[in-house]
Amino acid sequence: MRGIVFNMQRYSIHDGPGTRTLVFLKGCPLRCGWCSNPESQSPRPEILFEPERCSACGACVPACPEGLHSLRAGPSGTAHLVERVASCRGCGACADECPNGALRVSGRSMSVEEVVDAVMRDAPFYWQSGGGVTLSGGEATMQAAFAREVLMACRDNGVHTALETCGMADWETFRELAPHVDLFLYDIKHMDDEVHRRLTGAGNRRILDNLHGLFRMGKKVLIRMPLIPGLNDDPAGLEAAFAMLREEAARGADIAGVELLPYHRYGEGKYRQLGRAYPCGAEPYTEERLEAFKAFLAARSTEGLPLRLVRHA
């Protein structure tokens, strides 16, 4: 079985316990304007192009079996164009030929064995730190069968497994994946269905239903709430999420903690490389606002949940 993987990141200490390898699977059902991995959204391989690095040498033109590259004369000299990006098959031939590193393929086909072999290279770090593997995306449940095989193989090797998810999948998908996941990292973007639809392109009912379902199954869940200035950081919205979590905790839900992830613009350059406009015009938070969020969490720290502000995300 093969999946489309767009990145593997070793030695992560932010996405689950201990030192971890993150496996990023391509494809996402949501379109959050603040997404910092826009190259994750399409389930297909894509080519990223940095014009600043391109010398218009033309080496990529004959390399592409789909004829997606061309050189055109323009007012300011010869320019390189990438067209019909949807036809890219992710072979990487153009990037291999580029002498300047101007081209990069996001998404390559990998077998379960290739992914698990790569994950197992860092096994000593997992044993030492209590770490493991975290499947991320995109939305890993969009490649559920592949994700399941990877999770099962990692578990068979004694590796702790985590799945980072936006929650937008059929319940059947979660029900099948859950036995192979030690920890879910689960996003709550807004508690109001309509606001959620406006922010992400989809309502939140299925997402919240799946979260409740995982709690009922006794799964351990770390809640993550991205904070986007002016879009979902209103106190009432945050309070609604905390009220729901308090109720769940009272019913015995295994909530590992709540992390607030303040907005950043790290993904902006990738939109340019994909030939897309950056959809989120928000400015990152000031130190003062971040301190206010810390105070918000501190005021709730007596509620029995580990709460923290994660600045890097």
Q: Which one of 50-58, 131-139, 145-153, 227-235 is the stretch in contact with ligand SF4 (CB under 6 A)?
A: 50-58
**Burial readout 76-91 (b: 16 or more C-beta within 10 A, e: otherwise):** eeeebebeebeebebb
Indicate whether 142 belongs to the interface with ligand SF4 (CB under 6 A).
Answer: no
When the beta carbons of 6 and 174 are compared against ligand SF4, the nearer one is 6
When the beta carbons of 106 and 204 are compared against ligand SF4, the nearer one is 106
CB-based contacts of 135, cutoff 8 Å, min separation 6: 22, 23, 25, 147, 150, 151, 161, 162, 163, 164
Indicate whether 4 belongs to the interface with ligand SF4 (CB under 6 A).
Answer: no
Contact 244, 191 (CB under 8 A): yes
Indicate whether 102 belongs to the interface with ligand SF4 (CB under 6 A).
Answer: yes
Indicate whether 48 belongs to the interface with ligand SF4 (CB under 6 A).
Answer: no
Write the binding mask 144 to 183 for ligand SF4: x where contact by CB under 6 A, - elsewhere: ----------------------------------------
User: How far apart are CB 101 and ligand SF4 at their closest, in Å?
Assistant: 8
User: How far apart are CB 143 and ligand SF4 at their closest, in Å?
Assistant: 20
As a whole number of angstroms, the distance between CA 64 and CA 47 comes to 11
As a whole number of angstroms, the distance between CA 181 and CA 16 comes to 12
User: How far apart are CB 96 and ligand SF4 at their closest, in Å?
Assistant: 8
**313: Cα within 13 Å, side-chain hemisphere:** 17
**71: Cα within 13 Å, side-chain hemisphere:** 13
Report 64-93 residues binding ligand SF4 (CB under 6 A).
Answer: 64-66, 68, 80, 88-93
Please pick, from the candidates 5, 32, 48, 60, the single residue that binds ligand SF4 as defined by CB under 6 A. 60
Residue holding tokens 């000031």?
286
Contact 66, 89 (CB under 8 A): yes
Catalog residues that contact ligand SF4 under the rule CB under 6 A: 47, 54-60, 63-66, 68, 80, 88-94, 97-98, 100, 102-103, 105
